[in-house]
Chains A and B, each alone.
Chain A
Amino acid sequence: MPDSALRSATISVLVENESGVLARVIGLFSGRGYNIDSLTVAPVERDRSKSRITIVTTGTEMVIEQIKAQLDRLVPVYRVLDLTREGPHLARELALIKVVGTGNARQEALRLADAFRARVIDASTESFIFELTGATDKLDAFLDLMRPIGLAEVSRTGVAAIARGKTTIE
């Protein structure tokens, strides 16, 4: 193999918003043994006719090229864009993070949340729920800090991504 180095790729896929389209994409990944690190999907057109899927995957250059070609081959796929390859892009995800505790730990959680610009969206005498938006590694770093001081539960959206500048996926 010419290149066995692994790379991460953030791929945007614009698809017809029809039943089964997500199953086609996921089935392709499981059937061919590709990794899914993150996958998000939602309609993006006003009439809900198209959806945008953002997939974060890891593989060799050859595998990532295969993934793109295989996605492009699906009948309801309009466009496949490798954001990692095409140039600068932004990738964000959102997490809802429940931290349970009292006393000092509680104070510490609030201080760290402030430093990360996480918002408190729910509070009780023994818990907080923080809302945090950012790149995946920022969320990971915040969660690592919360773990020893009472991290109880996490819900993450997965990555949404878009290219910088005026070019669009279509």
Chain B
Amino acid sequence: MDGTIQTTELMKSGAEALLRALKAQGVEVIFGYPGGAVLPIYDALYQQTEIRHILVRHEQAAVHAAEGYARSTGKVGVVLVTSGPGATNAVTGLVDALMDSIPVVCLTGQVPTHLIGNDAFQEADTTGITRQATKHNYLVKRSEDLTRVIHEAFHVAKTGRPGPVLVDLPKDILNNPAPYGEPSFAPHRSYRPRTMPDPQRIEQAVAMLKRAERPIVYTGGGVINAGAEASKLLMEFVRLTGFPCTSTLMGLGAYPASDPQFLGMLGMHGTFEANLAMHGADVMLNMGARFDDRVTGRLNAFSPGSKKIHADIDPSSINKSVAVDCAVIGDAAEILRAMIAAWKRDTHQQDRGALALWWQQIDVWRAKQSLRYTQSRDPGSIIKPQYAIEQLYKATRGRETYISTEVGQHQMWAAQYFKFDKPNRWMTSGGLGTMGYGLPAAMGVQVAHPDALVIDIAGEASILMNIQEMGTLAQYRLPVKIFILNNQYMGMVRQWQELLHGNRYSESYSAALPDFVKLAESFHAVGLRAETVEDLDRVIAEMLAVDKPVIADICVDQKENVYPMIPSGAAHNEMLLGPEHQPAAGGYTGGSITDEGMVLV
């Protein structure tokens, strides 16, 4: 977008010009919280009906709600908060969106331009604080820049590798008259992300894949971000090639989990078959993932024998931690479209015999049933968390279901046992690992999809980090279901303390928990509790039947750990399948973690 505004019209306030720009960008909903510096915007919001404002209870939740909205719709989520504490409270959400590449525009109030730098009341150096927390940020110092900057902010947030963009708005800019300019379609002066792949690289990648004997496709959040079309093309490509497909946490749903060519999630808590296939592959296609440390395990033992193809929209993702043999820069949908065409054009015959042998090997690994667990059905038996997720999944099949999570063991169990067959149905804090993400994210999803079933799979510790949003659910009658796997511990911390720190459960016990049933009731919601296995299905059924917000407190086994697990500093072929399991192969001998592994998180 160019600096020149073609047609301008003077609006009576910057706030009105701002709202007109938001409408021109297609904004329907804003998640926000008022305060002194943004009062002009709230006054302008009051006098119109096109943009809906959702009043959150904490600014961090406003950003997570916008993220949930964005992830479930593919649109840009919009946040409006005041200066100073409003902006600083939003920082965690911004970094979350940055790490997971979620398009968000965050509007922050600022003290009037003449007071900037004076330590004025509720002043913070918002652009300074958020420079490393956003994809880009702006401070609007002149009224004539206002609407150009707003349009540009949306452009930057949603194009290329998406991310959060912050616009800091001094109060005088909002109060004074300001010219309105329409969005420009001229290319940006310096920001021009590349979306179309280099055809030569496509040919090279396809030639490598055609000759593969033990191929694997490894997909990530980039496929989701590229839109529903990319997921369809991924399906077409994987079917066309007959390759096995695995996914990162962020990519779940891009390829249908119920399809036989899907191996499940890979990485630290990935399936046996996904990790061993990654370890044994001879050609790997990474489509929109970033070789995150949760996925790779020990880098020098990660997929050691494979030629690697990395398709990503962000050139800085290439060769960042894993050196690759073929890099393809572009949008995942464009790359997949080009690869399908090139695959069909390429006359080289695929070695289907080798591929069949590879599938035989994968089926042997699959037969291990690495996600197996034992649930006693005797009356009074304690509920296994895995079983709770499986029963929830069964009960929600056939409904339009969206799942968010908090962060920890419950998040991993949700990723392992809830099967996602469509993109944009799974909202989780992958990169930053933000406890307290799930409830506000679910809120944003429910705002975007009022008739859908939206469930936050939570832990009893995480849920307390943004529990105030129960008030928002009540105010807007958002029937979000909160499904708490309550093991009375910060479970993932407890699991690591058990495995790495000699069972010294330092500060990981959730003492003095609230009564979640009464807590729900006090927030005008329905509270339910399942204490033993025979309660579970009834509680799930009741939860799903109620057209109101619900907290279902599911009391689960306190001792259960997430398996399979690749211990810190170990390789994919050194994974632990369960508490009594000896490692599958290789150097890891079980029991203690190496010194190098101890320092990893």
> Which A positions have Cβ atoms within 8 angstroms of B?
1-2, 15-16, 19-20, 23-24, 27, 31, 62, 65-66, 69-70, 72-78
Contacts and interface: CB of A to CB of B under 8 A. Distances in A.
Interface residues of B, number: 21
Given A62-B323, A74-B136, 20 more contacts: A2-B323, A19-B139, A20-B131, A23-B128, A23-B131, A24-B131, A27-B132, A31-B132, A66-B316, A66-B319, A69-B315, A72-B315, A72-B316, A73-B314, A73-B315, A75-B135, A76-B191, A77-B190, A78-B189, A78-B190
Nearest to A3: B323
10 contacts: A15-B190, A20-B131, A27-B132, A31-B132, A66-B319, A69-B316, A72-B315, A73-B314, A75-B156, A77-B190
Contacts of B156: 75
Which of A62, A73, A76, A78 has most chain B Cβ within 10 Å? A73
B91 interface: no
Nearest to B300: A1
B127 interface: yes
B154 to A, nearest CB: 13
A15 B191 CA distance: 11
Contacts of A24: 131
A69 B300 CA distance: 23
B505 to A, nearest CB: 33
Interface of B: 127-128, 131-132, 135-137, 139, 156, 188-191, 300, 314-316, 318-320, 323
Nearest to B192: A78
Nearest to A16: B190
A1 B323 CA distance: 8
User: Which 8 A/B pairs are nearest by Cβ-Cβ distance?
Assistant: A69-B316, A75-B136, A78-B190, A75-B191, A69-B315, A70-B316, A73-B316, A31-B132
Contacts of A2: 323
Given A73-B314, A78-B189, A62 B132 contact: no
Contacts of B132: 27, 31
Nearest to B299: A1
A47 B131 CA distance: 26
Contacts of B315: 69, 72-73
B192 to A, nearest CB: 10
B319 A62 contact: yes
Contacts of B191: 75-76
A59 to B, nearest CB: 13
Nearest to A69: B316
A20 B156 CA distance: 17
Contacts of A73: 314-316
Contacts of B188: 75
A66 B132 CA distance: 17
A78 B187 CA distance: 13
Contacts of B319: 62, 65-66
